[in-house]
Amino acid sequence: MRSIRDVLSQDGATLATAIALARDEARIEVQMLLQRALNVGRAYLLAHPEQILDVSKQAEYEAMLQRRQQGEPIAHILGEREFYGLSFKVTPATLIPRPETELLVELALQRIPSHGKCRVLDLGTGTGAIAISIAHERQDAEVVAVDASSAALEVARENAQRLGIDSVRFVQSDWFSALGAHRFDLVVSNPPYISAGDKHLKQGDVRFEPVSALTAGADGLDDIRRIVRDAGQYLETGGWLLLEHGYHQAEKVRDLLSQNGFWKIFSEMDLAGIARVSGGMANHLVFQSVGEKRDSV
C-alpha cells in the first residue's frame, strides 16, 4: 500500500524518465492523475500526505499512470483540458487545446467591443475552445463555429452546453463552404499547419490526435492558403482575419495576406517569443482588384 507522499515523491521521476518530461511537469501530471483517482483537489494532496490509498483507488491511479507512461496524452486520460480559464472536454476526435492558442483568443477579444453586436467566425473549431472562450468573454457577440468533422462538432456542442454558452452556432462545413452569403466582422482560425512529413508528428501528444487537424500539405500551408484566399468574401470591410500558424511560418503567412488584398498586416509573438499569430484587415477595394487579376490569369 502506498501513501500520497510516496506517490508524489516516486512517480514523478518515473514518469519523467518514461516519456522524457521535465521533472516539474511530470510531478504536476502525477498530481493531476492522483486528484482524479481520489476525486480531490490539489490542496487535499498537500494537506494529507500520510493518507494511504485504498486498493481500488490505487488501482485506478496506477492504470491511468501506465497509460501516461505509454505516451497517451493526459488530456485524453482525464478527458478534459483547461483553456482560457474554462474546462473543455477532449476526445481523440479533436485537437487538444494548447496554451499558445490563448494568444489567438486574446487578439480576437481586442477587436470585439465589450458591448454591442459583433459577428465572429471560428474556422475548424475542434473542441470549440476558441469560439466558446470568445463567447464567454463577449456575451453580445454572435459566434459561428464550423468544423468538417461531425465528431468534433459533437464534442464542441457538448462543451458549450456544459459551460452554459448558448450564443455559439455550430455548423458542419469544409471551411467556408456551408456559410452561404453570411459576412463577419472577425474570422479566427487555428487550422492545420504542420507539413505532412514533419518529424514531430511521431512525437508526443500529436501521435494521438487526428491527422486531419494537424497537417496541411508539403509545407503545412495548404489550408491557410485556402482560408486567406476565400476570407474576403465573408468579411465586412474593416473586419479582421486572425490565424494561428507554425513557429517558422509568420513571414509566409504575412505574404499570403498581402497577396490576397489584406492590409494592416501583423504578426504577434506568444509567451515563448515565437511569432504565433498573424492577421490582417479586410479592404474590399483591394480584394476586388486582386479578384480581377485572378480572373485575367
Write the CATH number for 119: 3.40.50.150
Residues 95, 52: one domain?
no
For residue 156, give its domain range. 80-296
* Whether residue 52 is found in the same domain as residue 118: no
Residues 62 and 189 in one domain: no
Q: How many CB atoms lie within 10 A of CB 269?
A: 12
Q: What H or E segment, with its residue span, contains residue 228?
A: helix 222-231
Same domain membership, residue 162 and residue 61: no
Per-residue pLDDT reduced to its tens digit, 135-185: 999 999 999 999 999 999 999 999 999 999 999 999 999 999 999 999 999
| The predicted structure's pLDDT at residue 63 | 97
Residues 64 and 179 in one domain: no
In tens, the pLDDT along 68-84 reads: 999 999 999 999 999 99
The answer to whether the beta carbons of residues 265 and 212 sit under 8 Å apart is no
Beta-carbon contacts of residue 156 (< 8 Å; ≥ 6 apart): 94, 125, 126, 127, 128, 131, 132, 145, 147, 170
Boundary residue ending a domain (71, 103, 129): 71
Rounded to the nearest 5 percent, the helix, strand and coil shares of the chain are 45, 20, 35
- Are 172 and 277 contained in the same domain? yes
Same-domain status, 112 and 241: yes
Minimal CA–CA distance to 222: which of 237, 212, 234?
A: 212
Q: What is the pLDDT of residues 246-290, one digit of tens each?
A: 999 999 999 999 999 999 999 999 999 999 999 999 987 655 555
Instruction: Single out the residue in 42, 71, 100 at which a domain terminates.
Output: 71
Q: Which of 121-125, 209-213, 293-297 has the lowest mean pLDDT?
A: 293-297
Residue 192 and residue 254 share a domain:
yes
pLDDT digits (tens, 9 = 90+) for 24-60: 999 999 999 999 999 999 999 999 999 999 999 999 9
Among 38, 71, 104, the domain-final residue is 71
Q: Domain count of the chain?
A: 2
Rounded Cα gap, residues 201 and 213, in angstroms: 12
pLDDT of residue 291: 53
Q: How confident is the model at residue 297 (pLDDT cuts 50, 70, 90)?
A: very low
- State whether the Cα torsion 213-217-220-223 is positive or negative: negative
* Cβ partners under 8 Å of residue 66, min gap 6: none
